[in-house]
Every structure is written in structure tokens, then in C-alpha cells.
């Protein structure tokens, strides 16, 4: 019953947001069970340096080529990649901060997250496996 509900919800979402099936994942040992969009935004945009559990956060971005990066930022802060780049450029210019570390693809994200306790990244749902813990489903509203 629950499954049917989820499927229908997914279908609805698919229709509404094209193909957003990204999930935010962390190392299962990070001590974090759930995070909301604001928390994720804070970590990825450099505002927060630690995970809610107190572990130093290591946000992992994806290369722009994957297309997942653009989807991710549109989803969490509703901004284009150019804007995000401009944001970081400003901070880099003033020497105040730096953008997250960048992985080449989802597999590399999975690799880094599974190996680092404070790592946090985003991958398509299909790419997420037992090595990581999904703390936020971006396809869900």
C-alpha cells in the first residue's frame, strides 16, 4: 500500500520536475540520520563547516558535465550553475572561502563518501547503495 503511494507520488513528481531523482548521501558513520534542505545548502555554500552531528563536513560536488550538478543546485537553491560559480568567484577573490571538492562522477562521489566519515554528496537515486546513507531525497518535496 505504502509502495503504491510512493510510486504514484514519484510519478507525480517526475511529471512536475522533469527528472529529478537526486538524493543527498553521507557516510553511514557520520552519525547523521536526516538533514533538511537548508542544512544541506549551508554545508554546500560554505556557511557551515560541520555536520549536525559535529563531524567536520566534507561536501563533494560533481563535475558540471554530469548534469547532476545543475539539477542539484536548481533543486536546493534554485540557482543556475553560472550564479553558483559567480558566488564562489566572489569568495575566492576576497580570499574568504572555496567551493566544495569536485568529483568526476557519481561513482567517485560514492567512493569518497563511503570512505570519509564527514563526507556528504549527491547522486542519482539509482547510484546510491548500501555504502552510504540517504539523508535527503531531493525528488521528494
Partner 1 sequence: MKSAGVLRSFHTSIVLRSAVIVMFVSGIIGYGLLGVITKFVEERVQETFTSRLGALVKTVENTAQIACYLSDMGLANEVSKGLLMSRDVERVIIRSEQGVLADNNRTSVLRESTSTKETGQEAATTGGASNATPATPSTGEIPPNAIVRSLTSPFKADTNVGEIIVVRNEAEIDAQVKTATNFIRLMITLQTGAIILVVTLIAVGYIAHPIHQISRRLNELSAVDGEKIDIPRGHSKNEIGQLVDDVNFLIDNLVSGINTERNLRMQREIEEKRFRAIFENAETGIFVIDHDGLLKSFNPSFRRILNIDAIDADKRDSISLLEISGDQAALIQEMIDDSLKEKRTISGEIKLINSDGNPRWLTMILNSVGEDQLQGVTNDITDSKLREAHAHKLALTDALTGLGNRLGFEKQIEAMIEEREADPEQNFTMMMIDLDRFKQVNDTYGHDVGDIVLIQVARRIEQSVRKADFAARLGGDEFAVLLPYLADEEIVTRLAQTLVKNISLPIYTKTDIETGVGASIGISLVTGTLKNKGEIVKQADLALYAVKHGGRNGFRIYREDPAPVTNTHDTT
Q: Name the residues that contact partner 1, by CB under 8 A.
A: 38, 41, 45-47, 76-79, 87, 90-91, 94-97
> Nearest approach, Cβ of 42 to partner 1 (angstroms)?
9
- Closer residue to partner 1 (CB): 77 or 112: 77
- Closer residue to partner 1 (CB): 91 or 112: 91
Q: CA 53 from chain center: how many Å?
A: 17
- Closer residue to partner 1 (CB): 9 or 92: 92
In contact, 51 and 26? CB cutoff 8 Å: yes
In whole angstroms, what is the distance from residue 25 CA to residue 94 CA? 31
> Nearest approach, Cβ of 95 to partner 1 (angstroms)?
6
In whole angstroms, what is the distance from residue 66 CA to residue 14 CA? 19
> Nearest approach, Cβ of 73 to partner 1 (angstroms)?
9
In whole angstroms, what is the distance from residue 35 CA to residue 54 CA? 13
Amino acid at each position: 500500500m505504502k509502495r503504491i503511494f510512493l510510486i504514484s507520488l514519484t510519478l507525480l513528481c517526475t511529471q512536475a520536475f522533469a527528472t529529478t531523482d537526486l538524493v543527498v548521501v553521507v557516510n553511514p558513520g557520520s552519525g547523521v540520520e536526516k538533514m533538511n534542505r537548508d542544512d544541506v545548502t549551508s554545508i554546500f555554500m560554505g556557511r557551515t563547516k560541520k555536520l549536525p552531528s559535529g563531524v567536520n563536513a566534507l561536501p563533494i560536488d560533481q563535475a558540471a558535465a554530469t548534469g547532476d550538478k545543475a539539477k542539484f543546485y536548481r533543486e536546493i537553491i534554485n540557482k543556475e550553475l553560472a550564479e553558483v560559480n559567480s558566488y564562489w568567484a566572489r569568495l575566492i577573490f576576497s580570499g574568504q572561502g572555496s567551493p566544495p571538492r569536485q568529483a568526476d562522477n557519481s561513482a567517485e562521489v560514492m567512493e569518497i563518501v563511503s570512505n570519509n566519515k564527514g563526507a556528504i554528496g549527491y547522486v542519482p537515486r539509482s547510484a546510491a547503495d548500501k555504502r552510504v546513507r540517504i539523508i535527503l531525497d531531493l525528488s521528494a518535496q
